[in-house]
A and B are shown apart, each in its own frame.
Chain A
Amino acid sequence: MNQRSLHSDMGVIVKTTARATIPLIGIFGAYVVSHGHLTPGGGFQGGATIAGAGILFLLAFGLGEMKKKYDHHLYSALEGLGGLVFLGMAMLGLGVAFFYNTLWHNGPFNGEPGTLLSAGYLPIMNLAVGLKVFTGLMSAMVAIAMYRRWKE
C-alpha cells in the first residue's frame, strides 16, 4: 500500500504514449475552442478536452510530478480571469444592451460568415469559457487527487 502510493505514476509505455498524445489532445481541444462558432463544440467542450490532457498527465506521471507543475493560485486567478473576459465581452455593447454584439455590428470581428473572425464576441467568449472550464476542471481534479488519505 505505502509502496504503491509513493509511486503513483504508471509504467514506461503509458508515460511514453502520454508524452505523444498530450500535445495532440491539447491542440485538438484548442481547435474545438477556437472554432466554436463554426463547427460543433465550443468553449465547454474544448475546455473539457484540454482538461482531459491534463488528467492524462496526472494519471500517467502521478501526483508528485503534477504538484511541481500545478500552481493553485495561478489556476484560481486564471479561472477568475476567464469569467472576467466573458463578462467584459458582454459589457462591450452596454450602450445598446447587455450582451449586445457590438464587435459584430460595428467591427472589427465582422468578417464573412464562415471565416474565423466572423462572429463578433463569440470566439473571445469561447476562449474565455475554455480557459475557465480547463482551469476549473484541473483544479477540481488535482484537489480531489490530493485529498488527504483513504483512512482517518
Chain B
Amino acid sequence: MNVLPFMIIIPLLGAFATPIVGLAGRRAREAWAVLVSGATLGVAGKVLYDLWSTGKVLVYTLGARSPLGEGGFPIRIVWELDLLSGIMAFTIAFVAFLAIVYSLEYMSHDTGLEKYYTLALILELGMLGIVMTGDLFNFYVFLEIMSIASYALVAFRNDTWEGIEAGIKYMFVGSLASSFILLGIALLYGEYGTLTMAYLAKLMGENFTLTAKIALALLMGGLLFKSGAVPVHMWLADAHPAAPSSISAMLSGLVIKAGGLYVMARIAFSVFGLGVNLKTLGWVIILFACLTLIVGNAMAIVQTDMKRLFAFSSVGQVGYILLGFGIGLAAYGTDVGRVATAGAIYHIVNHALMKALLFMVAGAILHQVGSKNLNELSGLARTMPKTTAALIVGSAAIIGLPPLNGFAGKWLIYESSALFNPFLAAIAIIGTAFCTAAYIRVLYTFLGRPSERVMGAKEPGNAMLVPMFILVVAIIVMGLFPWAISEKVMVPAASMLANIKGYITAVLGGA
C-alpha cells in the first residue's frame, strides 16, 4: 500500500481532531500532538527511503489511478516527489516533531494552547504539501495554508506589542507576495491552459512566450519574499524574534525553505527549465544571493537581541542557498552546476537543523532567564552549561567548522562558486567572515563573567533539553560523514532536480 497520501492525511487528521481531543484535557491534547507529528515523521522517513532506494520520481494522482484524462493530458491534481522533495519532507517532519516536543514545556505558561497545536500541525501540513505537490494551484493553496498558519503563530502571544506588530507586518506584506504568486499562476493558466507542473513544463519547452516571462518574474518576486532574500527580508527580522521560540525554530528552519527556496528551485528547474534562458535566470538569482549574503550576515553583527541576531543570520544563510541554486542554474548541465545545486540542498538540511537548534537554545534562555538581550546575559555558561554546550555546537556548525555538518554544505558552495566565478567565492567568504564575527560575539558573551541577572538561572527541563540534544547529535553525526552523505544523497538529489525531462515523463509517460 502506498504510504504517500498519509503524509497529508495524518497531519490533517491531527489538526481537525485537536479541538475534539482537546476536550479531554491538556495531557490528551499534548500527547495527541506529539503522536501525530511522530507518525508524520515515520511516514516521511518511509517516503524518503523509497525515493532514495529506487531513484525514481514518485507520482501520486488524486481521485483516480492515472493523472491523464481522455484527452491524453493531465486533468487531475498530481503529487510528484523527487529526491529533493523527499529530503525536504523528512527534514520538515523531523524538525516539526522536535519543535512540538519542545513546546510541551516551553509553551506551558501560555493560554489558548489547543489553537497552538492545531496551528503548528497545520503549519507542518502546509509545508509538506508544498514539497509534495506537482500542481501549481495546489502549491498555491498549500502555500497559503502555511503562510496563514505562520501569521497566526507569529502573533500568537497577542498580549505583547511585538507579537502583534510583527504579525501585522508579516501578514500585510506576506499577503501581497502571495497575491503576486497567484497572479503569476493565473497568467500561466491563461497562456497555457494547464496547471500541472510537468505538462506546463512540456508546453513551455515548445512555446515560451512573453506572458510566461512575466509570470516567472511575478513568481520569483513572491518567492524571494517568502524566502527572506534581501530587498524583502524585513518581515523576517521582526517575525522570528516575536514568535514563540518553538515557532521561530520552524519558521527559520523550515518555512523560508519549503515556501521559498524549495519552490524557487522547483519552478526554475522543473517548470521553466525547458523554456527560459537558465543562464540569465541563474544570474538574477546570484545577484540577490550576493546581496542577501552580505546584508544578512553584516546586520547580524550589530544586533543586541539574540533572536534578532539569529534571524539576520538566517537571512545570511539563505544567501548561500540562493547562491548554490543560482550557480546551479547559470552553469546548468556542468559538473560545477551540479555540485553547486548539491551544496544548496545540503545546506538547506544543515541550516534547518542548526537554526532550529539555535532558536531552541534562545527559547530556553528566554524561558529560564527572561531576557534575550545579549548585554544582560554574560556568563550563562556558568549557570546553564548544557544549553551553552548546545549553543556552541550550533554556532560552530553555522560558521562551518569542519567536524560539524555546516562545513560540507558550505564547502560545496565555496568550491563551485570559486570554479564558476572567483568573485562570487570572495563574496561568500566575506559573508562567512561576518557570520563568524557575529557568533564569536555571542559565544564571548556566554563565556564571560556571570552577570547578576544570570546568577539564579537554572537549566530547562527535559522536554526542552532532549529535542535540543537530538539536534546536537544529528549535527555531529551528519558532520562525521559529510562526503558519504554528499555522494549518496545530495548529488543524486541535485541530478534528479536537473533532470527536467525525467520530471515531465514521470507524469506524462513516454508521450
Show the binding face of A for B, using Cβ within 8 Å: 73, 76-77, 79-81, 83-84, 87, 91, 94, 96-101
Partner of A94, one of B5, B12, B114: B5
Q: Which of B1-23 contact A (CB under 8 A)?
A: 5, 8-9, 12-13, 15-20, 22-23
Q: Are A97 and B61 in contact (CB under 8 A)?
A: yes
Known contacts being A84-B13, A87-B9, is A97 close to B62, with CB within 8 Å?
yes
The 18 listed contacts between A and B (C-beta, < 8 Å) are A73-B23, A76-B22, A80-B19, A81-B20, A84-B16, A84-B17, A87-B12, A87-B13, A91-B9, A97-B5, A97-B61, A97-B63, A98-B5, A98-B9, A98-B60, A98-B63, A100-B64, A101-B63
Of chain B, the residue at the smallest CB distance from A88 is B13
B19: A residues at CB distance < 8 A:
76-77, 79-80
B23: A residues at CB distance < 8 A:
73, 77
A77: B residues at CB distance < 8 A:
19-20, 23
- Residue B109 lies at the interface, judged by CB distance under 8 Å to chain A: no
B22: A residues at CB distance < 8 A:
76
Of chain B, the residue at the smallest CB distance from A74 is B23
- Residue B65 lies at the interface, judged by CB distance under 8 Å to chain A: yes
B20: A residues at CB distance < 8 A:
77, 80-81, 84
What's the Cα separation between A94 and B5 when bound, in Å?
Answer: 9
What's the Cα separation between A100 and B62 when bound, in Å?
Answer: 7
What's the Cα separation between A77 and B60 when bound, in Å?
Answer: 32
Known contacts being A91-B9, A94-B5, A98-B5, is A83 close to B63, with CB within 8 Å?
no
A87: B residues at CB distance < 8 A:
9, 12-13, 16
A81: B residues at CB distance < 8 A:
20
What's the Cα separation between A10 and B373 when bound, in Å?
Answer: 52
With most chain A CB atoms within 10 A of its CB, the pick from B9, B13, B20, B65 is B20
Partner of A97, one of B9, B18, B65: B65
Of chain A, the residue at the smallest CB distance from B79 is A98
A91: B residues at CB distance < 8 A:
9
* Range of interface residues on B (Cβ < 8 Å): 20 to 34
A26 to chain B, nearest CB (A): 24
A100: B residues at CB distance < 8 A:
63-64
Q: Which of B23-63 contact A (CB under 8 A)?
A: 23, 60-63
B256 to chain A, nearest CB (A): 27
A99: B residues at CB distance < 8 A:
62-63
Partner of A96, one of B9, B12, B13, B65: B65
Closest CB pairs A-B (n = 4): A83-B16, A98-B5, A80-B19, A76-B19
B60: A residues at CB distance < 8 A:
97-98
What's the Cα separation between A80 and B15 when bound, in Å?
Answer: 8
What's the Cα separation between A79 and B60 when bound, in Å?
Answer: 29
B129 to chain A, nearest CB (A): 12
What's the Cα separation between A84 and B9 when bound, in Å?
Answer: 10
What's the Cα separation between A97 and B18 when bound, in Å?
Answer: 26
What's the Cα separation between A76 and B5 when bound, in Å?
Answer: 26
B18: A residues at CB distance < 8 A:
80
10 new A-B contacts, CB < 8 A, other than A80-B17, A81-B20, A97-B62, are A76-B22, A77-B23, A79-B19, A80-B16, A83-B16, A84-B17, A94-B5, A96-B64, A98-B5, A98-B62
With most chain B CB atoms within 10 A of its CB, the pick from A77, A81, A97 is A97
A83 to chain B, nearest CB (A): 3
What's the Cα separation between A127 and B5 when bound, in Å?
Answer: 23
What's the Cα separation between A100 and B16 when bound, in Å?
Answer: 21
B21 to chain A, nearest CB (A): 9
